[in-house]
Every structure is written in C-alpha cells, then in structure tokens.
C-alpha cells in the first residue's frame, strides 16, 4: 500500500530553512547545516538516505522549492533528490501557475494547479507500489499534515538552532504522532512518526 510520507530536515527550533531563504539561497543563512547528514559518511546517515530515496515512487514539492531546485544553483548531475544519489522519481509540483521554462528537463515533472490534495492524488497514481514523499517545503508539509494527507512524518533533526527562517509548523490542526523509530547519528537524529 502506498504511504504518504512527509520527509524533511529541521532545526532544533523548528525551522526548515535559515533566514533569508529564496531562489538564490534556497536554505537561507546557516541553513546548510540542516542537510549535513545527507552528505555525511556516517553509515546510518547513508542508510537513512538510501532507504528514503529507494522508497520514493513519486515526490511532491511546493512551487518555491521547485524554483530553488530548478534554479541555477539547484540540482545538477552530482546533487539532486537524495543528495549525491540523484534519484529520479516522478516529481509533482503544487503551484498556482506552471513555470514558463524548466532547466532540469531530464526529470519527470507534473504541475498541479488545483491544490495540494490533487497533487498528492496525482503523485499516488505515479508512485506504483512505492511511497509518495512530500519533500517540502515547510508550508507544503505543514498544510498536508493539517489536511490529514500524511501517513508518516520523517524528521531529520539537525543539531543547530537557526533562530529564524521558514518554520515547519505554523497554526494548524492538532495531530497525534506515534513514534516508530529514532536513529541518532553523528550529524542528526532521524525520527519517524505515524500520523494518527
């Protein structure tokens, strides 16, 4: 059965980017510390990343995140979905309007203009027997959890306090989480919850 997994790196104080994040600086000031684990040589970090990339039948992201990954400083042949693994599942982007051009034309992009639930449904159709992964940004994941669209929340808790940036959670519906696993590594604590 296809699960909907929200998977994102977050600071100890709840931010998924540092301050000043935008198309030219996708992670904002200090935000690169959030993804240290994805480039780590720690065997457990490598396992978490590899398993996450392998289970991704389709990936959902918001338009702001698309603009970062498709921008000039975004993904390339060495760093992409799954960091250095450069996974290539189908990508579904929630947007008010599709972009006029796409730099990463070797990836499978679908642009959904009718809302997050339709984007998740489109990704579910593309995922086959694998999972749908919501990779962000923070507003997309927060909205999906508030709307009851997420089965699993996978957080990669980076040992950094950013003080400001893009929060993962803002005013949303209360959700109960059931802890499934905790994997501490030298660069992060990987926590997986069922969303009930």
Q: pLDDT digit of tens for each residue in the chain (196 aa)?
A: 899 999 999 999 999 999 999 888 889 999 999 999 999 999 999 999 999 999 999 999 999 999 999 999 899 989 999 998 889 999 999 999 999 999 999 999 999 999 999 999 999 999 999 999 999 889 999 999 989 999 999 999 999 999 999 999 887 778 899 999 999 999 999 999 999 9
The encoded tokens of residue 91 equal: 């990508």
Q: Report the alpha-carbon angle 101-17-46, nearest 5.
A: 90
Neighbours of 170 (CB within 10 A): 12
Partners of 51 in beta bridges? none
**3-state class percentages of the chain: helix first, strand second, coil last, to nearest 5:** 25, 30, 45
In the chain, the domains with their CATH numbers are 4-13+33-74+85-195 (3.40.430.10)
């Amino acid at each position: 059965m296809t699960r909907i997994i929200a998977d994102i790196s977050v600071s100890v104080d709840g931010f998924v980017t540092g301050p000043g994040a935008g198309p030219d600086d996708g992670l904002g000031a200090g935000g690169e510390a959030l993804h240290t684990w994805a480039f780590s040589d720690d065997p457990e970090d490598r396992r978490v990343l590899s398993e996450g990339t392998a289970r991704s039948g389709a990936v959902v992201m918001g338009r702001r995140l698309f603009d970062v990954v498709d921008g000039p400083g975004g993904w390339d042949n060495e760093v992409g979905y799954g960091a250095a693994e450069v996974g290539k599942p189908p990508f579904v982007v929630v947007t008010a309007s599709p972009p006029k051009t796409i730099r990463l034309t070797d990836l499978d992009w679908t642009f959904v203009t009718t809302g997050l639930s339709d984007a998740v449904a489109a990704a579910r159709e593309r995922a086959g027997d694998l999972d749908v992964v919501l990779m962000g940004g923070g507003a997309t994941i927060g909205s999906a959890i508030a709307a009851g669209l997420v089965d699993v929340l996978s957080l990669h808790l980076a040992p950094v306090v950013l003080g400001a940036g893009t929060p993962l959670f803002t005013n949303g519906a209360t959700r109960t989480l059931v802890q499934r696993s905790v994997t501490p590594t030298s660069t992060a604590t990987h926590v997986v919850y069922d969303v009930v």
